[in-house]
Amino acid sequence: MLLRPTIDDLRVITYNLARMLLISAAAGLVPLVWAVLTGELAPAADFLVMVGVFSLAGTAGLALKPKHDRLDWRHGMAVVALIWLVVPIIGSIPLILSGNYARWIDAFFDAVSGLTTTGLTVVQDIDHMASSMILWRHILHFLGGQGIIIAALSLFSGAGTATLYFGEGRDDRIYPSVRSTSRFIWLVAAVNGIAGVFALFLVAFLDLGFGALRSFFHAITVFMAAFDTGGFAPQSTSIQYYHSAPYELVIAVLMIAGVMSFGVHFALWRRRSVLGNLETKTILFTFAGTLILTQIGLAVAGAYGTATGLGRQTFFQVLSAHSGTGFSTIPSAELATWGGLAFGGMAIAMALGGMASSTAGGVKALRVGLTVKSIGSQIKQVLLPEGAVISDRFRQNGPRHLTEDLKQGVMAISLLYVALYIFGAGLGLVYHVPLQNALFESVSAAANVGLSVGVTAPGMPASLELTYALQMWAGRLEFISIFALIGLLWSLVRGK
């Protein structure tokens, strides 16, 4: 029997939602200040409107302070699902006002894509977009990847705040308290940020001949998109714009840092080996497998004349796909011509995704490893004599046991991802998108990758655009908090 939420339940949700809206308001001040400093006064006014709406909504929500601010699982999950909807709605205000989007739904789509660290875009003429507007799109990546919840957990403590952390699909608990864990995540981002921005700045300034301010702007935006496995780029041609191997190498390092779970970061900081972890072994194996598939496909098609060219292009594209970043060094039109095994390799890399508790999307390497391990156990059970004891142990930051509950959980989430991929591809077919392209784009949206073969473009059908936005939302939150929100809404109507 579903229990109807009380007024106090709704107040707890609204109050916690309000705190995160105020954090988003603070984040909105960054592009506002940048716009004022660079003389972009019209965008500054747009950001002022957005910050005002965030602040107003946040302050109004704080006024509804509940008697007991204790988050239970239902509250925490609903807050997470709602914040990932409300922030793109308000965050799209400056994008709508910028005039770079034909329809309001396009601006909302880009805001969802930004926050969910996907990187698919329907912006028109980004090459002439105000720099503050470009900065805001990348800050959405940072907010989503790092993100709003982690910021809230670092600043506020309270009973039950751990539910917010788990609601975002994170399950690494590095320190005993979620607050300390959140602070460690910020520390990792800060260290990688300083090193990454400095390296990108140096390459742009010394190798590409950019001016100091331009080098810094590109460094900071590309860092946010790479480390948070987002995929927005400050130019329409993505990373191809730079035509620079050193720039690509720095981005590759940042994508690798982004795809690693914060548990792995912690282990490396403490100089502990992670090579024995099931997740590390799985991701190395799937990266090599998808890379080989893609290379065979392209070699057979004769797409590249030299092994260095083939190696460089496939390394970057497959890493971008597997990490869920979505950066590209080739045009969408060329990617659309990758058929056969090359298409298969890229699609599989996108669908599998990165490590759990990272900013990457997709099924995740740990679930893939556990699925393979449980299939192996089933086969062993059939082949070995009756009564034989089969060890279901695996290593993941220490020895662990593959329990029946864990198996069921892994299978359920993996199947939901597959269903989500098929659902989006099916809708693409309704709009006469060729099967291969429909599948590629659907997987790219649902796994929060952002690579495109040209289906996602200004003027695309609105229902397809909304479906991709829904896929990005569901894929990023790994379903559970969305089901919890639906359950809460249902209990409002039918609860006792």
Partner 1 sequence: MRPRPAPRERLYRITTGALVTIAIEFGVAILLFIGAVLIAQLVMFLAS
Q: Which residues contact partner 1 (rule: CB under 8 A)?
A: 187-188, 191-192, 195, 249, 252-253, 256-257, 260, 265, 268-271, 287-288, 291-292, 295-296, 299-300, 307-308, 310-312, 314-315, 318-319
Least distance from partner 1 to the Cβ atom of residue 257, Å: 5
Nearer to partner 1, 152 or 355 (CB): 355
Calpha distance 413→143 (Å, rounded): 25
The smaller minimum CB distance to partner 1, of residues 187 and 375, is found at 187
Instruction: Report in angstroms how near the CB of residue 221 gets to partner 1 at its nearest.
Output: 20
Give min distance, CB of 435 to partner 1, in A.
26
Q: Determine which helix (DSSP H) or strand (DSSP E) holds 431, and give its type and residue range.
A: none
- Nearer residue to partner 1 within complex by CB, 308 or 463: 308
Q: Shortest Cβ distance from residue 207 to partner 1 (Å)?
A: 17
Surface-to-core class of residue 136, CB atoms within 10 Å of its CB (0-12 exposed, 13-18 middle, 19+ buried) = buried
Closest separation in Å from C-beta 334 to partner 1 = 17
As measured in angstroms, the least distance from the Cβ of 27 to partner 1 is: 25
Shortest CB 290 distance to partner 1, Å = 11
Nearest distance in Å: CB 171, partner 1: 21
Q: How far is CA 25 from the centre of its chain?
A: 21
Number of neighbours of residue 375 by Cβ within 10 angstroms: 10
| Count of positions (residues) in the chain | 496
For the four alpha carbons of 409, 112, 132 and 94, in that order, the dihedral sign comes to negative
Q: Shortest approach of partner 1 to residue 317 CB, angstroms?
A: 10
Would you say 274 and 262 are in contact if contact means Cβ atoms under 8 Å apart? no
CB 87 within 8 A of CB 447: no
- Cα separation of 375 and 139, whole Å? 41
Cβ proximity to partner 1: between 18 and 264 the closer is 264
CB 133 within 8 A of CB 100: yes
- Which lies closer to partner 1 via its Cβ, residue 15 or residue 287? 287
**Nearest-approach distance from CB 306 to partner 1, in angstroms:** 8
Q: How far apart are CA 296 and CA 299, in angstroms?
A: 5
Closest to partner 1 by CB, 256 or 402 = 256
CB of 182: closest distance to partner 1 in angstroms? 16
Pick the closer one to partner 1 by CB: 194 or 212: 194
Q: Which is nearer to partner 1, 30 or 299 (CB)?
A: 299
Nearer to partner 1, 152 or 189 (CB): 189
Q: Which two tokens stand for residue 379?
A: 């086969």
Helix (H) or strand (E) holding 172: none
**Is 422 exposed, middle or buried (CB count within 10 Å of its CB: 0-12, 13-18, 19+)?**
middle
Q: Is the Cβ of residue 248 or residue 465 nearer to partner 1 in the bound state? A: 248
55 in Cβ contact with 22 (< 8 Å) = yes
**446 touches 471 (CB < 8 A):** yes
Q: How far apart are CA 351 and CA 359, in angstroms?
A: 15
Give the Cα separation of 258 and 256 in Å (integer). 5
Instruction: Name the residue nearer to partner 1 (CB basis): 113 or 261.
Output: 261
CA distances in angstroms from 353 to 87, 184, 225, 251, 482, listed in the order given:
25, 23, 16, 18, 20
Measured CA to CA, the distance from residue 141 to residue 146 in angstroms comes to 8
Find all residues with CB under 8 Å of 62, minimum gap 6, and list them: 15, 18, 19, 22
